[in-house]
Structure 1
Amino acid sequence: MRNPQRLNVPIQLDRDLPEPLHDQLAAQLRRAIARGQLAGRMPSTRTLAGVLGISRGVALAAYEVLLAEGRITGRHGSGTYVSGTGSAPVGAGSLPVRASDVVVDLRSDRPSTQAFPLAAWRAAWRRASHQAPPVEEPPPAGLPALRAAVAAYLRESRGLVLDGHEVVVTAGYADALALILRARHGAGRALIALEDPAPPALRHALARLGTVLPLPTDASGARPDLVPAGCDVVAVLPERGVLGARMPTERRRALAAWARESGGLVLEPAFDGLFNPSLTPRPSVLALGDADSTAMVGSFCDLLTPTLRLSFAVVPRRPAGAVEEGLHGQPSVTCQLAVADLLASGCVARRAERLSVLYGAKRAFVRQVLGAYPDTRLLGGDTGAAAALLLPAAVRAESVVGALLARRVRVADLAAFCHESGVRENGIAFSYGHLDAGLLSGALHALTGTLDDHRLPRRSAA
């Protein structure tokens, strides 16, 4: 296949691959931009389609992905340009980005843009904007259509029937946490047991609402028998802990029993990035516990985009008007209508299925590459698109993090996920769902090179 004259970079699209053509094209253009092979003005989608022998719709979809990522910008009447470059072609005075300047960031758990349902996304927002915006604020708990759509999705995806609970829409994840805790404890500071290790962002959000204590974990997740005395709330990650543990049903029942007997509350995520339909479903703590002692918090960061400022809380059903306390604003009506449309149309469910396929292939690749080091332990290789790599005591995590940064790859030290008074794990945490095949391969090459530099032995080839 010939290459576009104005790109001067190899573009190879394979119709036999499960990855859609526009995702393949976007990934290859993304790599070319990162390596400095592309700068200045991009070819038109019509030109690109003609040279590559694809439909213009494929080229348009690839450009829209790159536009959404901020890698290219459109200028009215002028064309499309690589972000940060001028309107003139690259010349002697330009400074293209060097491959050595590019940093692959694996620290935050971000969703993939591959196979994003762009047509359904645009259609939902278009339909939501057909009606004139209201002059009044949306209901304090959120639009009824969105609340019903979230409840229906939880029923279909997790088997939850919310007889004793209600869905309350909030403007962000932190707002949802605040709503749950303030509805139960008022303005006072709660004593919160958080499974340890846990995502730093979750720990910091809860620390603003109460005093956080570590809840020890093992290979089966949080330990219900070690909940600190006097705790009001226990926050756990039953489906996917930082170390990849998936809590067995017996422990979920034990947590529900703790809440029932102590009068406390168990808080869990509505979705926590499992993305593996082959695993046997396990009931949530909310499904096992009493209505007044269980709650959930959720968002659509993992399924759609982190930029969607819309979250929700699943809280014990209260008298009418009780949810108004602690709410400081709602997402716009248009945003709520669009998300309700995406849920009701099945778009979100199909997106979850597609991500499960994409992440499954990436997980297998990560296991294959890192499984060659017998002195390390890869945790979380069966769920989601994030993992932890435990290192032997002789190899310090901070040394591996620093060496990887020198190779232009950022990972997190597991110590950052641990409570200051808890057990400090020696290892690294990394997320890879947002990487295409080329970037993931490059990141793993940097990681294996770093492990080799630290003299970690490899298994001999069969």
Structure 2
Amino acid sequence: MVILSEWLAAQLDKESAEPAYRQLLQLMQQAILTGRLAPGARLPSSRTLAGDLGVARNTVLHVYDQLGAEGYVISTTGSGTYVADTRPDSAAVSTPTPASAPADEDDDASGASPRGDMSMRGQRLIDEAGVSARQWGAFMPGVPDVAEFPARTWSRLQARLWKSANHGLLTYAPGGGYRPLRRALSDYLRVARSVRCTPDQIIITTGIHQSIDLAVRLLADHGDTAWVEEPCYWGARSVLQSSGLKLAPIPVDDEGLNPREQDLRDPPRIALVTPSHQYPLGMVMSLARRRTLLEYARQHKVWIVEDDYDSEFRYGSRPLASLQGLDESDRVIYVGSLGKLLFPGLRIGYMVVPERLAATFRTGVAELYREGQLMQQAVLAEFIMDGYLTSHVRRMRTLYGERRQLLIDAVTRHFGDALPVMGDEAGLHFVLGLPDHADDRAVAAAAYDAGVIVRPLAAYYSVRQARKGLLTGYACVPHEEIEPAFATLARVIEEHALAKPEKRRRAG
């Protein structure tokens, strides 16, 4: 432990503008990931380490809490804090390529395939490019409360930009988007989501759908395989299918994506995952699974598309770090959107691509979509740089947390513990579990007729439905409307999901 303290003390830069908390967190993560701190090693007490480093004890306590939240360490009451064993599963990451697909003799020592980074379709698109350099109500899931958006602030910023009459903001967007916005997003993502990137690696899009579509068009060919979580967001699944990819549904469990042995024997070209908040079930991918997936992607040249759709809204703990921040092999394409943070009609999203692909993606987005909205992008850049985004997210996290609790309380009042609430630790919705005999599609349809919007969990499964439930959103429902709206939903559930099967037949 003395060695650890000495090493940390030598690495900490107390003159840096980077807070000591963030420096110490990154150093300890590095020590664990590189093996300097071996699995099972006991960490010094927070008081001891704070004294050795000359920092506040609360700083060390916050670092230990975050390490625990992200799975780096395990704390045992009365025993101490120990480094968790998150080493990649060697049996999984070393799964050989099937004998029917022999290795190419031209593969170089680094493992790079002659196929390279681009798909044939993507490469053809770039080679032939002609571009120059130059919804709402209870309980709709995934929709923020747009009534709480600081419209006056946005309007003031927008009026200032319009007043300057910058003609450059009224034409098509340059490849990649408005550079000041990319710079602002780069700074925001580094702090809020632990994403490692430069402004040049950020591509501005109209949202997650377009980001996924662009990645698929440039990195995969018709007939290539894509891993998708089972269940997964139907919109993303539709984008992949429409692009001609063969989908391989991979089951999820309490630790996130859990590929089976047969899945590992056939590496996909693309793996679409929601590691920080699985959609729709809400679990977090464990650090061990994250590291295994990254190593598997490195060995088998898999592109990982990380959909980080609403991870800023986490209740009771800090937002978890991105998968991209752990990636040392540049195999992760990170995609996000401002729609759930601000308002869906904004239609501004972003993707973070490996540096070697940045120029390719800038050309691709301009060639395929002829992007615009530069004025909106400029307003958003000012909004972020002036600190309004951070303060808005902080305020909405508190508001959504209150509404989440009100809705959970309503569930408890009506059903006790008969219906489980799943995936409520983060995001803008949770899944309200239903009995195995229930038809969640029929329940959702009946609720819609009664004036309440919920989504059936069945809609998110592609092969078979393992669980029955309703995606129930709370973000866009005012506090005072939650109880009466849920009372309506509860009556529908009692009639269509909790009644005995024979009673439902008689009623029909």
Q: TM (normalized to structure 2)?
A: 0.64
Q: 1:277 to 1:410 in 2, by over 3 A?
A: closer
Are residues 277 and 364 of structure 1, via their aligned partners in 2, closer, same or farther at CA, if it must alter by over 3 Å?
closer
Match runs of 1:309-388 below 5 Å: 309-318=347-356, 321-322=359-360, 323-327=362-366, 328-371=369-412, 372-388=415-431
Give the Cα separation in 2 of the matches to 1:326 and 1:104.
Answer: 34
Cα displacement (A) at 1:167 = 0.4
Q: Spell out the pairing of 1:165-176 with structure 2 (5 A cutoff).
A: 166-176=201-211
For residue 450 of structure 1, report the CA deviation from its aligned partner.
2.7
Contact 2:274 2:308 in 1 (8 A): no
1:186-223 residue CA offsets vs partner (Å, 9 max, x unmatched): x5453111111112112112222222221101122221
Query: Judging changes above 3 Å, is the alpha-carbon distance between structure 1 residues 107 and 278 closer, same or farther for their aligned structure 2 residues?
Result: closer
8 A contact 1:245–1:380 mirrored in 2: yes
Task: Tell me which of 284, 309, 323 is aligned to 1:246.
Answer: 284
Q: Does 1:417 align with 2:456?
A: no
Partner of 1:123: 156
Return the offset for 1:156.
1.6
Corresponding residue of 1:211: 246
- Shift of the 425–277 alpha-carbon distance from structure 1 to 2, 3 Å rule, reads closer
Counterpart pick for 1:398 among 441, 451, 458: 441
Instruction: Report the CA distance shift for 1:221/1:140 in structure 2 as closer, same or farther (over 3 A).
Output: same
Matches within 5 A, 1:125-164: 125-129=158-162, 130-134=164-168, 137-162=172-197
Select the residue among 462, 473, 478 that pairs with 1:436. 478
Equivalent residue number for residue 9 of structure 1: none
Aligned partners of 1:167, 1:116: CA distance in 2, in Å? 25
Mapped to 2, the partners of 1:320 and 1:257 lie a distance apart of 23
* Separation in structure 2 between the aligned mates of residue 380 and residue 348 of structure 1, nearest angstrom: 25
RMSD: 2.5
Which residue in 2 is equivalent to 1:303? 341
Partner in structure 2 of residue 230 of structure 1: 267
Q: Residue 156 of structure 1 aligns to a residue in which SS? A: helix
Go from structure 1 to structure 2 and tell me whether the alpha carbon gap of 1:172 and 1:247 turns closer, same or farther (over 3 Å shift). Answer: closer
* Structure 2: stretches of 5+ with no match in the other structure: 1-135, 500-508
Deviation per residue, 1:334-364 (Å, 9 max, x gap) = 1111111111111111111111001111111
User: Are the equivalent residues in 2 in contact too, given 1:216–1:422 (CA < 8 A)?
Assistant: no
Residues 153/452 of structure 1: CA separation in 2 closer, same or farther (3 Å cut): same
Question: Matches of 1:188 and 1:394 in 2, distance apart?
Answer: 39
Q: Quick check: which one's helix share is greater?
A: 2
Q: Which runs of 5+ in 1 are unaligned?
A: 1-102, 458-462
| 1:281 CA displacement | 4.3
Q: What is the percent sequence identity of the aligned residues?
A: 24
**Cα deviations across residues 373-398 of structure 1 (Å, max 9, x unaligned)?**
33322112221220111211233323
CA 1:369–1:243: 2 relative to 1, 3 Å: same
Name which of 140, 162, 182 aligns with 2:217: 182
SS of residue matched to 1:307: helix
Change (3 A) 1:431 1:329: same
TM-aligned CA distance change 1:453 to 1:403, over 3 Å:
same
* Contact persistence 1:192–1:212 (CA under 8 A): yes
> Alpha carbons of 1:136 and 1:374: their partners in 2 closer, same or farther (altered >3 Å)?
closer
Asked if the contact 1:214/1:422 (under 8 Å) is kept, the reply is no
Structure 1 residue 181, shift from structure 2 partner: 2.4
Matches of 2:418 and 2:141, distance apart in 1: 26
332-341 or 391-400, which deviates more: 391-400
Partners of 1:243 and 1:355 in 2: CA distance: 22
For 2:213 and 2:446, how far apart are their aligned partners in 1?
A: 39
Distance 1:245 1:219 in 2: 6
CA distance in 2, matches of 1:196, 1:120: 41
Q: Please tell me the residue identity of whatever aligns with 1:233.
A: I
**Aligned residue for 2:49?**
none
Choose from 136, 142, 146 the match for 1:109. Answer: 142
Aligned counterpart in structure 2 of residue 284 of structure 1, from 322, 333, 337? 322
Amino acid at match of 2:179: P
* Secondary structure of residue in 2 paired with 1:119: helix
Match of 1:269 among 299, 307, 327: 307
- Once the two structures are TM-superposed, the CA of residue 108 in structure 1 deviates from its matched residue by 4.3
- Aligned to 1:124, the other structure's residue is in SS state helix
TM-score (ref. length: structure 1): 0.70
Distance 1:213 1:110 in 2: 28
Quote the residue 2:127 is aligned against.
none
Query: What displacement does 1:257 show?
Result: 1.3
- When residues 136 and 399 of structure 1 are mapped into structure 2, their CA distance, relative to the original with a 3 A threshold, is closer
**How many residues end up aligned between the 2 structures?**
353
Q: Which amino acid aligns with 2:175?
A: P
CA 436–446 in structure 1, closer or farther in 2 if over 3 Å, else same: same
Q: Give distance in 2, aligned partners of 1:173 and 1:413.
A: 22
Deviations 1:229-252 (A, max 9, x none): 231111111122211212222211
SS, match of residue 366 in structure 1:
helix
